Chain A
């Protein structure tokens, strides 16, 4: 086993995404306003090893979904690179090579009511990736494979004859997982896959995903705002705040000893038996406007430890945490 075994499956380097949120040209000219840009994601670097689940957590608007969409290639990054198995998604790799790569990356979406084409039967939905990448020939072979995939995710092969609206939210998410697996994918990006589901169904879907991960050796990038879900799923966790990763750690370490003040605030807000008796810090304030972020550390207006340096100088991600107070040993 050489470098290939050690090399992470997914390497994200200095990923950045800026959205132009300016008013239309005519309004800008009349109102004498400059163009406005929203930096949704800035300078994100992360590695995801084969077979692990990397979770990105953060509040709404922290840019975690934007990262997910850039990693699967739905959104071109403004800067930075996403390399999967050593092949740059935006780079000079040949089209055939990238097409091969796309087969190996799939996505599971948040809303199972919107992620399945309502006019297609389920077997056609699940068969589409197989046909799109030309994995199998012949109707019988494809039908057999679709039946196998539906069984795999806990549905009946005959369910393929039905339309998506005949299924519940949890069953639809199972269909979406079957579709994601249909192209023999290895890396699956899950954008809040359970946040639209009832709590009782969430656990079933999460257990299904873990089960499939064990059986197929899948690698997940898991996006969520729900810390309980993340704790159940993740090997490693990246905490995002206003487009930046503020802390990265192994799941156990992060929950046992959060370092960044923001991570502490998030964890303190989760009711947990292990933390009974500790003073609980409520989550204060709201995420600032990303068009006009605070100077220095973006978290400083909400941070109990902020000092003058925090208000003027952006902390770098060193040793898994981006916080002056931690770096200086103040907390």
Chain B
């Protein structure tokens, strides 16, 4: 009947049921949960600590997948030129990649959502100022801005996170402003204004929580972007430091040996990266369908 009646029920169980109607998306979610768990538990489940030089044996270098290490353990994904177990390196690399992506998305969405909702509610000059900065930001290619920033800041995980926040906040600002413009015309906001509540309370207690649906969707997709962007930066050698290799840096590292037949050093981190990005995108797409009442199927 009305638009409100067509909205999905906001209970988590209802969302999960709707989400589960697409088997591919369920598989993606399961894969994603496993990847996050593997990354989070890397120090406990990895066969080897790849940062611990004492645990490495140079005699184990360049072992092909399935060969036996000096300790008698089998290196299922092979070893690199330092004798590092690739499976362990990938688990730790995934940890860095996901960590950087999640941190940058969390910070960027907080900043972007705040600016977007303030722009929508304030209107006028404030809105024009914020949104023109957003336009300016989005008119530059993300990779270019990130490269310039890292060229200035230097390498480091914190600096990569800052660079990713700078190139991503504008997406959130634009998304949240759009939904906040719609929501702020609705009558519950007017009712709140009738109570003479402070503006901050109206914006952050009433308006913002009702604009989070689209934000969650954008954030999911942006995590995949952030992982890819961080991998690109690290591959180009301006991202994370060599002492804390992410997947991108592992790929860059193995790239040197790719033509000499030592494919595993580069290809397996690449496969892990692709699986992570595809799983996040599939889950994010389904999330968009579930949260968008018009896409309800």
CB distance from B5 to the nearest CB of A (A): 8
Contact of B186 among A73, A99, A114 (CB under 8 A): A114
Complex CA–CA separation, A74 to B206 (angstroms): 17
Chain A contact-residue range equals: 20 to 34
How many B residues, CB 8 Å from partner? Answer: 21
Contacting residues, chain A, for B2 (C-beta < 8 A): 113
Q: Which of B3, B5, B186, B210 has the most CB of A within 10 A?
A: B186
B10 lies within 8 A of A74 (CB): no
CB distance from B14 to the nearest CB of A (A): 11
B7 lies within 8 A of A74 (CB): no
Q: Can you list the 9 inter-chain pairs with the closest CB atoms, starting with the nearest? A: A115-B187, A113-B4, A109-B187, A132-B195, A114-B186, A114-B187, A117-B188, A102-B196, A119-B209
15 A-B contacts, Cβ less than 8 Å apart? A73-B194, A74-B194, A105-B194, A114-B4, A115-B191, A116-B188, A116-B191, A117-B192, A117-B210, A118-B210, A119-B209, A128-B195, A132-B197, A133-B195, A176-B191
A155 sits at the interface (CB 8 A)? no
For A179, the closest partner residue in chain B by CB is B191
For B2, the closest partner residue in chain A by CB is A113
Contacting residues, chain A, for B190 (C-beta < 8 A): 69, 74, 107, 109, 115
The verdict on A117 contacting B195 (CB below 8 Å), with A109-B190, A165-B7 known, is no
A102 lies within 8 A of B187 (CB): no
Contacting residues, chain A, for B210 (C-beta < 8 A): 117-119
Complex CA–CA separation, A193 to B192 (angstroms): 17
B191 lies within 8 A of A165 (CB): no
CB distance from A152 to the nearest CB of B (A): 18
The verdict on A74 contacting B187 (CB below 8 Å), with A117-B206, A119-B210 known, is no
**Proximity bits, A76-118, B CB within 8 Å = 1, else 0:** 0000000000000000000000010010011101110111111
Contacting residues, chain A, for B188 (C-beta < 8 A): 114-118
Contacting residues, chain B, for A111 (C-beta < 8 A): 187
CB distance from B68 to the nearest CB of A (A): 57
Spell out B's residues near A (CB within 8 Å): 2-5, 7, 9-10, 186-188, 190-197, 206, 209-210
Contacting residues, chain A, for B5 (C-beta < 8 A): 113
For B8, the closest partner residue in chain A by CB is A165
For A163, the closest partner residue in chain B by CB is B10
Contacting residues, chain B, for A102 (C-beta < 8 A): 194-196
For A166, the closest partner residue in chain B by CB is B9
Contacting residues, chain B, for A73 (C-beta < 8 A): 194
Contact of A72 among B3, B4, B9, B194 (CB under 8 A): B194
Q: Besides the contacts A119-B209, A165-B9, what 9 more A-B pairs have beta carbons closer than 8 Å?
A: A110-B187, A114-B187, A115-B187, A116-B191, A117-B210, A118-B10, A165-B10, A179-B191, A183-B195
Complex CA–CA separation, A73 to B197 (angstroms): 13
Complex CA–CA separation, A105 to B196 (angstroms): 11
CB distance from B125 to the nearest CB of A (A): 13
B191 lies within 8 A of A132 (CB): no
Q: Which of B10, B187, B192 has the most CB of A within 10 A?
A: B187
Complex CA–CA separation, A111 to B194 (angstroms): 16
A8 sits at the interface (CB 8 A)? no
B194 lies within 8 A of A119 (CB): no
A129 sits at the interface (CB 8 A)? yes
Contacting residues, chain B, for A118 (C-beta < 8 A): 4, 7, 10, 188, 210
Contacting residues, chain A, for B194 (C-beta < 8 A): 72-74, 102, 105-107
- Residues 119-155 (chain A) with a chain B CB within 8 angstroms: 119, 128-129, 132-133
- Residues 24-76 (chain A) with a chain B CB within 8 angstroms: 69, 72-74
CB distance from B102 to the nearest CB of A (A): 24
Complex CA–CA separation, A109 to B189 (angstroms): 11
Q: Which of B5, B190, B210 has the most CB of A within 10 A?
A: B190
Complex CA–CA separation, A128 to B192 (angstroms): 9
CB distance from B208 to the nearest CB of A (A): 10
Q: Which of A69, A99, A105, A109 has the most CB of B within 10 A?
A: A109
A109 lies within 8 A of B191 (CB): yes
CB distance from B286 to the nearest CB of A (A): 22
CB distance from B54 to the nearest CB of A (A): 53
For B196, the closest partner residue in chain A by CB is A102
Contacting residues, chain A, for B196 (C-beta < 8 A): 99, 102, 132
Complex CA–CA separation, A170 to B209 (angstroms): 25
For A98, the closest partner residue in chain B by CB is B196
Complex CA–CA separation, A206 to B136 (angstroms): 53
Contacting residues, chain A, for B3 (C-beta < 8 A): 113
CB distance from A64 to the nearest CB of B (A): 16
**Proximity bits, A249-280, B CB within 8 Å = 1, else 0:** 00000000000000000000000000000000
Complex CA–CA separation, A176 to B187 (angstroms): 11
The verdict on A119 contacting B10 (CB below 8 Å), with A128-B195, A129-B195 known, is yes
Contacting residues, chain B, for A129 (C-beta < 8 A): 195
Complex CA–CA separation, A232 to B196 (angstroms): 32
B191 lies within 8 A of A107 (CB): yes
Contacting residues, chain B, for A179 (C-beta < 8 A): 191
Complex CA–CA separation, A73 to B191 (angstroms): 11
Complex CA–CA separation, A107 to B7 (angstroms): 26
Contacting residues, chain B, for A74 (C-beta < 8 A): 190, 193-194
B4 lies within 8 A of A165 (CB): yes
CB distance from B203 to the nearest CB of A (A): 13
